[in-house]
Amino acid sequence: MLFSSFTVFASQGEISSRDQIASQYKWKLEHIYPTDGDWEKDYKKLEEMIPKMDTYKGKLAQTDQLIAAFKLREDMLRISDKLTVYAGMKSDEDNANDTYGAMVDRADGITAKLKAAAAFIEPEILKFPEDTLKDYMQKAELKDYSLYFDNLLRTKAHRLSETEEALLALAGEMAAAPENVYTSFRYVDRRIGEIEDEEGKKVKVSPATYSGMLEHPNRDMRKKAFEAEFTSFKESINVLAAALSGEVKSNVFFAKARKYDSALEAALAPDNIQPEVYNSLIEAVNNNLEPLHRYVSLRKKLLGIGDKVHFYDMYVSMVPSVASDIKYEDGQQMMLEALSALGEEYISDLKKGLSSGWIDVYETQNKYSGAYSWGAYDTHPYVLLNYNGTLDAVSTLAHEMGHALNTYYSNQHQPYAKAEYPIFTAEVASTTNEALMLDYLIKNAETKQEKMYLINSYLEQIRGSIYTQIMYAEFEKEIHDAVESGEALNATFLNETWGSLMKKYYGEDFEVDELAKVWWSRIPHFYWNFYVYKYATGLSAGIILSDKIATEGKPARDAYLNFLKAGGSDYPVEMLKAVGVDLSNPEPVEKALVKFNDLLDEFESLMQE
């Protein structure tokens, strides 16, 4: 575990084109379709399959016809998934490539047609007597659909007629417009600023390099990077406000159409979670803001800030002399060592993913920023990174490979109907990896300074995944409540709502700059309909599970791997209860915030040695 000197600008300058990156650092999308022509063949095949759904209308009371209809829908969805994943990831390689942007639109369009063609299935099934549905749940030939039928019964009051369901399915493509506008702005049309580094050289504030710049020890450099990045959003703030307003109105529309009391209730319903759970998480974090205020004050002290802490002071390490410029291969080895507690099976499959074309590693021109894991049931998982050599980048690798292995195991052990796991549990698989890695690195730190650096990193992980994400979640609730109350989501309302939350969360030693109030406009997750709170529940569960795996050994590890292999075979809260984590109440989040406070105590104790 060696960390070299700080070299944030070592690999910056002009962003590489894709053909300048060695093949071993690029994912192999040819594993899905060898050529675009093969994609077109599957597209045409799906077009020809869709009309066949009509032959099953009115016949689903016959068990053999029901099974055949399910089979056809599944076959079509599996093709649709591959079309969408391939087109989406090819587009993410270069968001300026209109060819793949058009393929994404076509994939979205044909998926909407597929769902519209199959929209009669649920309304027709729901006409059956309840006893019939319960009987179907017990039939061997329908065992893959037991949870599906249970969900139908559970949400029956929110299901609509065949005609209405078909209309909502068709509206799905139109409802994607706000996110499409946002994505086009962020990755194609946005003016990426330039700043001068300490040597007077021009540096482009690209999506991937911006995060590195915020970790620069020179405060003036951090401030210039922040101003360049946030100004690029402020310049179009009214457009971005209109896009987010459209997204929220879309969520409210679909919730009302399905007779939910709120957009929040509708968003939580698929996971069988009540709004009270969401609200109690926000309340639990609001009741535990003092450690975060204390952390901000500690930053002010250690960074020698004479005024107040600003947004651009929140990401630089409080131990600046220990930083990282970690080669990708070294980062892989760090991850493998840290996750060894998960056992030989997990590590063997992790190595397979690292060496088999799953991962797209480095930033290239117009590439999607950030990181994600994606894939289809009939492909191996894929991971997109923008690796920049920081410890955070290594942590991101562990995070996304957690998702990837969850997908890999789920697809291996579950039928298609039960393989897709909800995001609620997905974030557990990723954050357990992060928690294991940081605990391992802290325990094996070679110097006091290194240990302090790693504790700082763990504090940042909890701040980013719990405090910050719950602040995001509170913002989401407030803006949806506003629309449901008839208020307009203009830029002024959004900025002031965001500024108030920042002040509450970060405390008296934090300065809410006017420019920082546009922070909301940089968050793509706000187009994913009450998504972000799952980061907080995920990390909270991950911290508990990582502790169990480290202290209890094989029994806890086996239970955890069985959880990963269970995919979407049960409701997420029930799946987590089986491994000792009850997320139906705020206790896991509260325990994670105790961990934050304990780490803060340990950090301050080391300072005094």
Pick the catalytic residue: 247, 400, 427, 484? 400
DSSP-derived 3-state class of residue 202: strand
| CA angle at 584 for the pair 248 and 558, rounded to the nearest 5° | 115
CA 227 to chain CA centroid, Å, is 26
Q: In degrees to the nearest 10, what's the CA dihedral of 335, 524, 563, 347?
A: -20
- Between CA 89 and CA 375 the distance in angstroms is 9
CB burial of 100-129 (b: ≥16 within 10 Å; e: otherwise) equals bbebbebbbebbbbbbbbbbbbbbbbbebe
- Between CA 489 and CA 249 the distance in angstroms is 10
Both tokens assigned to 245? 């307003």
Contact 457, 391 (CB under 8 A): yes
The secondary structure element, H or E, covering residue 343 is none
CA atoms within 13 A on the CB side of 56: 27
DSSP-derived 3-state class of residue 567: coil
CA 150 to chain CA centroid, Å, is 27
Active-site residue flag, 400: yes
Q: Residue 204: beta bridge partners?
A: 194
- Between CA 95 and CA 597 the distance in angstroms is 42
DSSP-derived 3-state class of residue 194: strand
Backbone φ, ψ for residue 318 (5° rounding) = -75, -5
The secondary structure element, H or E, covering residue 360 is strand 359-360
- Between CA 447 and CA 511 the distance in angstroms is 34
Alpha helices (runs of H) in 217-375, residue ranges in sequence order: 219-234, 237-257, 263-268, 275-286, 290-302, 328-338, 344-355
As annotated, the active-site residues are 400
